[in-house]
Each structure stands twice: as C-alpha cells, then as structure tokens.
C-alpha cells in the first residue's frame, strides 16, 4: 500500500509539472516585455511600436464588445492617442454573418478617437495562434504590442514571438476583477495546447493570400 501511494504521489507530481511547465515558461520568458495598463503613467514606459494587435474576447447578442473586449480596445486606443502605436489590428472571430468581433472592435475604436484608416480588421483571428500566425504571414507584421487580459498576455506574447512577431504585451485596463478561476484554469490548458502548436507550427484555421498593411489603409 505504501508503494502504491508513493507511486500515485509521484505520478501526480509528474502530471502537475507536465501541465504547468508551458505556463511557467511563457511567464518567465516574457517577464521583461510585459506592461500593465493599470500602472500609473504606463504609456510613458511602453516602447514604441508600429502596430498594436488586439485579440478578440467576444461580442454581445447585440453585436457590441463584451466588457473584456472593451477594455482591450480602450487600452489600444490609449496607446494610439499617446503616439506609441500607429496602426491597430483588430483580430477576432467572424465565423458567421451574425458574429463579427473585428467589426465591433473597429467601430468602438473609432468612437474612442482612432482614425478608420489606422484600423485593420483581421476576420480570421479565431484563436491566439491564428492571430499571431496571420499577423506575420498574412499582414507582414514583424513587431507589435499585443493587448489582452493580464492572465493571457504571457501566452500571447510568447506565441507571437515564436511565430516571428517580436512582441511586447500589455495587460488591458479594467474595472473590477479581469479574470475568473475558470478563466485561469482554461489558460493553463490553452498554454499546453499553444506549446504543442509552437512545436508543430500548423497552418491557421484560415490562411489566405498576403494582405500586407500599407500606411494608406
């Protein structure tokens, strides 16, 4: 019985280490390139970037951004108005005619003062890997500020870096708590999936032809 218990403990520790390793690696490897929009004068410390990439976070049945997505877009708009980024890529899910994250993001950004010609809509950013892959190989982006909630930023930055988009991460501004325990648990599993994706480097859900961004957009 003692040997069996010991074996179960060892197995449990091994599983825990295996599951948590990608999350730990992503957090450690990106620690020096992450910023927090809740810090005082945070826009002063962010390094200059040509692009900001805003990752989708859902829209309401009415087609407007969820609170999480609003916070992300607001953070990108703050960077834009501070002159720290010049073009904002709104990357999200537009899997059917009744669900359009990029369009909702773009409209809200314009309400916040971002010029339409400085907004690029990526309609096939179905997940973080797809967004980073398309930023590099479809839109021709090589450097960017990636904006999401704090718990997601390490994975997003690490993914973009590994796919050739040298990135800084910005944890979006928020009112109240910007995560739930279920979100944190899902993030651990998503980090495991991302780790495998970055080894295998599959094609994104939708690739398509290059649409390199020009300043005239």
Query: Which domains, and CATH codes, for the chain?
Result: 2-200 (3.40.50.620)
pTM of the model: 0.92
pLDDT of residue 215: 63
Rounded percentage of the chain residues whose pLDDT exceeds 70: 97
pLDDT of residue 192: 96
* 153-189 pLDDT, tens digit each: 999 999 999 999 999 999 999 988 888 888 899 999 9
Consecutive 10-residue averages of pLDDT for the chain (217 residues): 72 80 96 96 95 96 94 98 97 91 98 97 97 97 97 98 98 87 92 96 92 73
Distance CA 119, CA 19 (A): 37
Distance CA 178, CA 196 (A): 27
pLDDT of residue 53: 98
DSSP per-residue letters across the chain: -HHHHHHHHHHHHHHHHHHHHHHHHHHHHTGGGEEETTSTTHHHHSPP-SEEEEEP--B-TTSPBPHHHHHHHHHHHHHHHTTS-SEEEEE-B--BTTB-HHHHHHHHHHHTT--GGGEEEETB--SHHHHHHHHHHTS---EEEEEE-TTTHHHHHHHHHHTT-EEEEEEPP-SS----HHHHHHHHHHHHHHHHHHHH-PPPS---S-----TT-
Q: At what angle do helices 153-162 and 128-137 cross, to 10 degrees?
A: 40
């Amino acid at each position: 019985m003692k040997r069996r218990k010991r074996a179960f403990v060892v197995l449990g520790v091994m599983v825990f280490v295996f599951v948590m390793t990608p999350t730990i690696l992503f957090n450690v490897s990106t620690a020096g390139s992450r910023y927090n929009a809740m810090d005082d004068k945070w826009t002063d410390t962010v390094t200059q970037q040509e692009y900001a990439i805003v990752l989708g976070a859902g829209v309401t049945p009415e087609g407007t951004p969820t609170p999480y997505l609003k916070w992300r877009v607001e953070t990108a708009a703050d960077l834009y108005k501070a002159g720290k980024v010049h073009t904002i890529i709104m990357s999200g899910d537009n899997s059917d005619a009744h669900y359009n994250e990029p369009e909702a993001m773009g409209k809200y950004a314009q309400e916040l003062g971002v010029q339409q010609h400085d907004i690029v809509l990526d309609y096939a950013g179905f997940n973080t890997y797809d967004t980073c892959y398309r930023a590099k190989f479809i839109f021709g982006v090589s450097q960017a500020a990636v904006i999401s909630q704090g718990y997601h930023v390490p994975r997003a930055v690490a993914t973009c870096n590994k796919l050739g988009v040298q990135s800084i991460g910005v944890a979006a501004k928020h009112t109240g708590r910007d995560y739930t325990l279920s979100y944190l648990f899902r993030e651990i599993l998503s980090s495991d999936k991302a780790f495998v994706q970055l080894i295998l480097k599959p094609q994104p859900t939708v690739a398509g032809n290059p649409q390199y961004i020009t300043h005239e957009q």
